[in-house]
Structure 1
Amino acid sequence: MAQQLDDRRVAHRASRPRHRMLIPAALLIGVLGGATWVLTNNVEEEPAAMLGASDTVDGGIARINGILPLESDGWVPPSNGAALETAVPDGAHRVRVLLELTALEPEGIAFSAADYFVDGLGTGEPHVIWASPSQHIAEQGETIDATLVFEIPNKALALVLSDDGEARLSLGTDHHTAGQ
C-alpha cells in the first residue's frame, strides 16, 4: 500500500504542468529585451535647426535658404544634369535644397556634397543625386551657396538635412506632394 502511494505521488508530480517555470522565464526575457531596446533605441539626437535658422558646422554655420520640388520648380541644372534625366520612381519626388555655408573660423569650411543626406522617418537616408558645387573650401568670411538635389519618398516625415556630423537642418514639409 505504501508503494502505491509513492507511485501515485511520482505520477502526480510528472503530470504537473511545467508552464509554471515558463512564466517567470518569459517575464525575465521580456524585461531584459525591453531594457535592451530602451538602451539601444533611446539615443537622443540633437534637435534639428528650424527651417531658415542657422546651425553650426565645423568652421562656421549652415542654413537652408530654400527647398523646392523639381516637379513644379521648372529649374534645369546648368551642367552635368544626366543624373536628373532618369524617371522619378513611383512614391518619390525630387527636391532642390539651397544650402548656405559661411566660414567663421580661421580654418574655414571644407564642403563636400557627398557628405550630406536626408534623414527622417521613412527616408532610407537618400544621398545627393546632383550638386553644385560638389566640393569647395571656403576661407574665413567666405560663403558657399550650394544646390543639392535629393530624391525622397513622398510619405517621409521629420526630414532633416544632415552631414553625419554636427549639421541637422530641418527641411519642413512644404515640398511634400501630399502622398501622391
Structure 2
Amino acid sequence: MAGTTRTSSRTTKAASSRSKHNGDSRFHHLFMDELKDIYWAEKHLVKALPKMRKAATSEELANAIEEHLEVTKEHVTRLENIFDMMGVRATGKKCDAMEGLIAEGQTVISDTEEDSAVRDAGLIIAAQKIEHYEIAAYGSLRALAMKMGHTEAASLLEQTLDEEKETDQLLTEIAESSINEEAAAE
C-alpha cells in the first residue's frame, strides 16, 4: 500500500507539473492572441482616423484627431517591437470590437450634417468608445506581460496605455469646453 501511495504521489506531481507548463503555454497563447487583436485594431484605426479628422467641424477636434493619428502610428511600431521581443512576426487577428467601433464612427458621419457641432459631439463619443476599448486592451496586456515577466514589453504597453488615457482626457476636455454646449444649441 505504501508503494502505491508513493507512485500515486509522483504521478500527481508529474501531472501537476505538466498542467502548470500547459497553463503557462495557454497563458502565453492568450497574451499573443490579444497582442494580435490590438495590432489589427491599431492598424485599422490608422486608416479610420483621417476620415474622422476630415469630418470634424471643430479645428480643435480635428487637430486632436490628427495628433492621435500620429501617436497611433507609434503604437503600431511599439507593438511590432513587442512581437520582435517575443520572437515572432507581427501579425494581426481581426478585432471584431474595433471593426464595430470604427463602423459606429462612420455611422455618426453619415447620419449627421456637415459643419455641425452635433457631428463633432458624435465623433467625440465614437472616439472615446475606441479609447476606452484600447485602455482595456492595453491595461490587460500590460498585466499579462508583467505576470509572465516580460518587463520590457510591459513598459511599452504601459507607455501606450498612458497615451490612450491622455487622449481620452483630451477628448473629454474638448467636449466639455465647447462642443457639447454648441451641439445642444443647434
TM-score for the superposition, normalised by structure 2: 0.30
Q: Which has the higher strand share?
A: 1
Bigger Rg over Cα:
1
